[in-house]
Amino acid sequence: MDSKAARKKDVPAREKILFAAFDLFHEKGIQATSVDDILKHSGTGKSQFYHYFKSKEGIVHSLLQQMHQRLKSDLTINPDINSWSDLEQWLKRPGEMQESCSCERGCPVGTIAANLAPKDELIRQDIQLIFETIKTKPRAFFTAEKAQNKLKPEADPESLATFCVSLIQGTALLSKVERSTDPFNTGIDHALIYLKSFKIE
C-alpha cells in the first residue's frame, strides 16, 4: 500500500484512512499508533474516521480482512509454487521487500501480531487466517511432491509448510533488529538445505 498515493484527491476518505493506518501499523505497530496519528497521516477528519470505523480495532480488522482477500486472489503477492526454484523464490521474496526499506520494517502481519493483547480475539483470528492462507502455497507444493513419490515417507507437508512460515517470520524479525538481511538470507539458505533433505533423488 502506498500512503502517499492515497492522499490524492480522487481517493475516497475510507481508502486514505486504510492506507495511512497500514503504513503506520507496519512502521510503529498498533499500540504506538493513535487515531490522531492516522488522521494526520491520511489528511482526514474524525467524523470521517468514525463514519467508516467505530474504533482503532475496527480499522485493524478491516485491514486484515483486506489483506486476506488480496493474498487469496493476487498471485503477485502469494504466488503458486510449482518447483523447488519457485519455493526458493517464495521464501526469499520477503527478504527482498525488507531490503527495499533498509530493513526498517518487518512483515506487516507479524508486526500487528506482535502487538496482540489477550482481548484482541477477533484480530488474532484474522491473523491466524492470513497465516493459514500463506501456508497453502508451500503445503500444496509439498503435498504434490509427496503424491509423486518425490519426498521421503517421513516428510509431512503440513509441518514443512508451518516451518516455512515460521522461518520467514523469525528471520524477518532478526533482520529488522539488526538492520540487515544477513539473518534472513542465512536462515533461508539453511532452511533450503533442510527442506531438500526430504527429496528423493
Q: What is the mean pLDDT of the chain?
A: 90
Residues written for the chain: 201
pLDDT of 5 higher than 50: no
Residue 158 in grid coordinates: 503440513
Q: Exposed e or buried b for every residue in 155-171, given b needs 16+ CB within 10 A?
A: bbbeebbbbbbebbbeb
pLDDT of 2 higher than 60: no
Chain-centroid distance, C-alpha 62 = 15
Model pLDDT for residues 107-158, shown as the tens digit of each residue: 888 888 888 888 889 999 999 999 999 999 999 999 999 999 999 999 999 9
Model pLDDT for residues 67-116, shown as the tens digit of each residue: 999 899 888 889 999 999 999 999 999 999 889 888 888 888 888 888 88
Q: What is the rounded CA–CA span in Å between residue 173 and residue 179?
A: 10
At residue 6 the predicted structure's pLDDT band, cuts being 50, 70 and 90, is very low
Could you give all domains of the chain from N- to C-terminal order, each with its CATH number?
1-53 (1.10.10.60), 75-196 (1.10.357.10)
Residue 119 in grid coordinates: 482481548
User: Which residues, listed in sequence order, are joined to residue 84 by a DSSP beta bridge?
Assistant: none
> Span 47-54, mean pLDDT?
91
pTM for the structure as a whole: 0.84
Q: What is the rounded CA–CA span in Å between residue 187 and residue 142?
A: 20
pLDDT at position 113, please?
87
At residue 193 the predicted structure's pLDDT band, cuts being 50, 70 and 90, is very high
User: Which residues, listed in sequence order, are joined to residue 199 by a DSSP beta bridge?
Assistant: 151
